[in-house]
Amino acid sequence: MDRIGWVTLAAATAAVPFLTSNTYYLYVAISVGLLTIVTAGLNVLVGFTGQTSLGHAGLYAFGAYTAALCATRAGLDEWLAIAMAIVVTSIVGAAVAGAALRVSGPYLAMVTIAFGLIVEGVLIEWGSVTGGPGGIFNIPKPALRSHYWTVMIAAALALWLTANLRRSAWGRAFLAVKESEIAAESLGLSSYYVRIVAFTVSAAFAGAAGALYTFLNGYISPDSFTLQTSILFLLALLFGGLGRIAGPVIGSLALTLLPELLTRLIDYRLILYGTLLLISIYWLPEGVVGALSRGRRARAASPPALSPEGTGEVTREEEFRNPLPHRSSGQREGVLLTAESVTLSFGGVAALAEVRLAVYRGSIHAVIGPNGAGKTTLLNVLSGYYAPDRGRLVLEGRPADGLQPYAVARRGVARTFQTAQVFGGLSVRDNVAVGVAGPRLAAVASALVGTPGARRGESEFQGRAQALLESLGLAAFADHPAAALPAGLRRKLEIARALATRPILLMLDEPAAGLSPAEIGELDRQLTELRDEGGLAIILVEHHMDLVMAVSDRITVLDYGRVIADGAPEDVRRNPAVIEAYLGAAT
């Protein structure tokens, strides 16, 4: 939605209490506001982070009951009760997320459903506290008109907070985890932790909305917090526009007003919901908001095309003006990484057997071998994606076994993937910015509010990302979605993103695949420059022999998961075992 849309919406919202004093209209409008708050929070979880929850009615209930108990039993005033509700629901949300987010997909849907049903069951059973099936009543409530303003301001705040979050390093981390968990972890992000944060934020929003709901009615009962309520939340978000900031408003308007307009069709309510859900899934992948803005874009201009300038025209000086900074510990000599007797089998087939490897600082170490020799598997072991059955890894003199991929990345190991894993929905610059920030995400609260500190951090991230793009000749594409890049540039972007983490060791999985001879020449130069000027160690898995022989300081040859040769390029080239197993067969 554009500026005009938002201003119109705000004006209409402000006008409502002056146009009508009908309590029913105010009540409906407040309901839209409440649903907007919940779905704005749900948007952070489902839209940004890509995790489905069917249990948010349970969190909404936590907010509502906490506020009701604070107001009745503890005699707190409305504002304190709301604050308590937000705190309690956030804690509950974090705890639920900690358990639920160990799984994903249908499993996660099930755990969240189970959570919602347990909450509903406890509300009914634990009569002494919750009032049982009858609920809690006689809650002191503010005048409807003043509550209208409270809820509308809260709803506006909710949208503003999610918009801030979307633009922050956290927002990029959420989207990165959604787009490619594997790539996000390679940049030092723990996808589990990132999802917990998203879930907790969405829980806080649901808690706030629940508390405001309590003060709307002065009466709450378990009937309002069923599985159907959770489905309604999700439906409003999907219909409005998943991942769109304005999606929650539009979806909430539609799903509150439609049933009110069709009260005579109350018996058909589920058919209505089900049909809307199917329509949203079939035809509105980005909801009403997405469909509208797509239509407008299509009318206004042609879709953004890849601009040709700067593709191959960048001069050498421009490209490699600034050597890439990395967090060198000062040492430029000696062994950086050793692997010893690394063994891994998949279902009885030995992918790696007793593999040894020693990578020196400031060197390019190639790993070659025929297809299926275990090269990529070795990279996956070294970067923590596979846990070997046996073997030891030592990085910078400290053990590095049993680490999760994000922990390996935090120790300064960056990598690319055989099939480039870019975050397709993020811009090229944002892809790199995810790497620049890595796990250095400020408190999520400051990202929500957009504090000056958070903004300073953000401009630093953007600045460094831009500098990296310029030095690698990708600046012309900075604002394009990464998904629009051709394969060669995706590989380049992946390297830029990996370098953005300031690694001490860079692992490249077939970076030359699919590149033209000119591009391979450029890669050759870039790799040697990274080694000579940046002092970076590079592990290069590659089939392109000319490149390997030209840049490598050392080569390890794998065949059937075993090291058959290891040494300087000229020795390996002459090694009879290598010639037989690999070079002989290949050339």
Partner 1 sequence: MTLQLIVTGLALGSMYGLVALGYHITWATSRTMNFSQGHAVMAGAVVAYAAFVALGLPFALALPVTLVALAGFGAIVERVAVRPFFLRASPAWLLATIAVGIIAENVAMLTFGKDARAFPSALMRRPIMVGSAGFYPQELLVPLVGLLLMGLVQLFYHRTPYGKQLKAVAWNPEAAGLMGINIPRAVMTSYALSALLAGIAGVLLAPLLNVAPQMGTIIGLKAFAVAIIGGLTSAPGIILAGLGYGLVEAFTAGYVSTRAREIVGFGLVIAVLIVRPWGLLGEKPSRRV
Indicate whether 386 belongs to the interface with partner 1 (CB under 8 A): yes
Question: Which span (15-23, 101-109, 144-152, 556-564) binds partner 1, by CB under 8 A?
Answer: 101-109
Q: Which residue lies nearer to partner 1 by CB, 472 or 508?
A: 508
- Residues 35, 55: Cα–Cα separation, whole Å: 15
Q: Which residue lies nearer to partner 1 by CB, 279 or 586?
A: 279
In angstroms, give the least distance from the CB of 280 to partner 1. Answer: 8
Indicate whether 270 belongs to the interface with partner 1 (CB under 8 A): yes
Give the chain's length: 587
Indicate whether 348 belongs to the interface with partner 1 (CB under 8 A): no
**Cβ–Cβ contacts within 10 Å for residue 515, how many?**
19
How many angstroms separate the Cα of 582 from the Cα of each of 51, 100, 370? 45, 48, 6
Site for partner 1 in 435-494 (CB under 8 A): none
Binding mask 205-234 for partner 1 (x = CB under 8 A): ----------------------xx--x--x
In angstroms, give the least distance from the CB of 381 to partner 1. Answer: 10
- Residues 331, 456: Cα–Cα separation, whole Å: 31
Indicate whether 265 belongs to the interface with partner 1 (CB under 8 A): no
Beta strands in 500-569 (DSSP E): 505-509, 537-541, 554-559, 562-567
433: CB partners within 8 A, 6+ apart: 169, 172, 461, 462, 464, 465, 500
List the structure tokens of 204.
Answer: 């806080």
Q: Which residue lies nearer to partner 1 by CB, 273 or 320?
A: 273
Indicate whether 94 belongs to the interface with partner 1 (CB under 8 A): no
Indicate whether 337 belongs to the interface with partner 1 (CB under 8 A): no
- Residues 55, 227: Cα–Cα separation, whole Å: 7
In angstroms, give the least distance from the CB of 371 to partner 1. Answer: 17
Angle at 522 between CA 517 and CA 528, to 5 degrees: 125
Q: Which of 15, 77, 121, 389 binds partner 1 (CB under 8 A)?
A: 121
In angstroms, give the least distance from the CB of 417 to partner 1. Answer: 7
Indicate whether 9 belongs to the interface with partner 1 (CB under 8 A): no
- Residues 505, 328: Cα–Cα separation, whole Å: 10
Q: How many residues bind partner 1 (CB under 8 A)?
A: 44
Reduced DSSP (H G I as helix, E B as strand, rest coil) percent helix, strand, coil of the chain, to 5: 60, 10, 30
Indicate whether 91 belongs to the interface with partner 1 (CB under 8 A): no
Question: Which span (243-251, 277-285, 357-365, 578-586) binds partner 1, by CB under 8 A?
Answer: 277-285
Q: Which amino acid is at 351?
A: A
* Three-state secondary structure readout of 128-183: HHHCHHHCECCCCCCCHHHHHHHHHHHHHHHHHHHHHHHHCHHHHHHHHHHHCHHH
Indicate whether 380 belongs to the interface with partner 1 (CB under 8 A): yes
Q: Which residue lies nearer to partner 1 by CB, 137 or 346?
A: 346
Q: Which residue lies nearer to partner 1 by CB, 33 or 374?
A: 374
Binding site residues, partner 1, CB under 8 A:
52, 99-100, 102-103, 105-107, 109-111, 113-115, 117-118, 121-122, 124-125, 182, 227-228, 231, 234, 238, 267-271, 273-275, 277-278, 281-282, 346, 376, 380, 385-386, 417
